[in-house]
Amino acid sequence: MSHYVSRLRSRPLGQHPGPPRLRLPGAGRRPRRVAMLSVHTSPLHQPGTGDAGGMNVYIVELARKLAAINIEVEIFTRATTATLPPAVELAPGVLVRHVDAGPYEGLAKEELPAQLCAFTHGVMQAWAGHRPGHYDLVHAHYWLSGHVGWLAAERWGVPLVHAMHTMAKVKNASLAAGDTPEPAARVIGETQIVRAADRLIANTAEEGDELVRHYDADPARVAVVHPGVNLDRFRPLGPGATPVTLTGPGADASVAAGRAAARDRLGLPQDALIPLFAGRIQPLKAPDVLLRAVAVLLEQRPELRSRLVVPVVGGPSGSGLAKPEELQKLAALLGIADVVRFRPPVGQQQLADWYRAASVLVMPSYSESFGLVAIEAQACGTPVIAAEVGGLPVAVRDGVTGQLVPGHDPADYARALDRFVTDPALPARMGAAAARHAQSFGWDTAAAATGDVYAAALQERRRHLRSPHG
């Protein structure tokens, strides 16, 4: 069985022994068509803007690969402009349906619960236009979608598969200073969805444990499916966009040559130390920890200033929208504005080049259900310094493809960065190992494992319907 569907790590969980290995039927029937729900963020949105991030990438890539194994996907998302067509073909076998629910613009994620009835109505209208049995299964992403999915699955008589992506109780247990706690209504909503779902997909064993521990999830309904990475887009490229060798004695040199070529394309200095932050700019992602670490590093090594470039690629999101220029002000206050380069969110192809050009990606997040950015960077041949939280210990092999840092003390991150100063060969050496590590996280494997979860949910539903006590 694939390691993507695995036993959750064993440890004390009160009355729960921990979710067992999910026995998926090898010959179980997979669904023909899945209604996938993403209420608050569209798969068509640019990751790194607003609420668009790793979940957008997850839905797009998973849907494409599900369609490739003959599972059609229709993605329902909220319309955010009046000019959007009702339906857009994202890829063969993948349709994005725009649902009118509330004002098109200026609606914060926190205001969306009031629009769930309207969104559900739109989903039901689309369903009413089809023959009975059009959708075999509902796959909801994030708790807002989970509530729509709960009603839709019950109305259609099909299984509900739900992916949390993030959980309120987990986020509230590790808030950044000054960040806003998730509301009680979300906690209640997530608890209801956990009880209603036929299957819960967790990104990692740690997340599966948290579902059982915090939300009293039935361990038998939890399946672990690691997200993937688009290995065609995110990969090391040498001069002239040639493929880079990842094995043998020349692997390190090949990755180093690819880094030099990417720096040429982006106009970055060849001899610079480049620690990169890429993602949504909000307290949860802790870009301020990187800036403070850089200030500590420069205090210890002032001679480094002339060859240090710190790109911050992304846009304000979440609670960061309240103070969109807070990070720029912090850079000025710390006296490092001259080395920090703020860049708006970029498309996936250019993002891959930023990864390739960096000496190291820095992810000091307070909470990450998985950390797709970490896998993307490693797939491009770039090591990662990451907080030892959530799924990041799965994404990053500590000491091999990067370094995990307990806590969020800038001094600890400065020490981790200093290793890349004292050992100039470290980016290439760890980068080659990182690219090899990322090869095991392809979306093909993730989609196949997700299809098995679907099949298990369908088989259980059929068994329940056949039971005289059903």
Annotated binding site for UDP-N-acetyl-alpha-D-glucosamine: 46-47, 54, 280, 285, 346, 368, 376
What is d(CA 211, CA 203) in angstroms, rounded to the nearest whole number?
11
Distance CA 44, CA 347 (A): 12
Q: How far apart are CA 383 and CA 362, in angstroms?
A: 9
Q: Which residue type does 171 have?
A: K
- Annotated binding-site positions: 40, 46-47, 51-56, 109, 142, 166, 186, 280, 285, 346, 355-356, 358, 368, 376, 382
- Residue 407 C-alpha from the chain's centroid: 21
The amino acid occupying position 325 is: E
d(C-alpha 174, C-alpha 172), whole Å:
5
**Are 258 and 237 spatial neighbours (Cβ–Cβ below 8 Å)?**
yes
> Residue ranges for the binding site for Mg(2+)?
355-356, 358, 382
Residue set of the binding site for 1D-myo-inositol 3-phosphate: 40, 51-56, 109, 142, 166, 186
DSSP annotation of 280 reads -
DSSP, res 4 = T
Give the separation between CA 77 and CA 44, rounded to whole angstroms.
10
Q: Comparing C-alpha atoms, which of 251, 457, 292, 262 is closest to residue 355?
A: 262
Using the Cα atoms of residue 285, residue 288, residue 289 and residue 293 in order, give the sign of their dihedral: positive
Q: Are 44 and 78 in contact (CB under 8 A)?
A: no
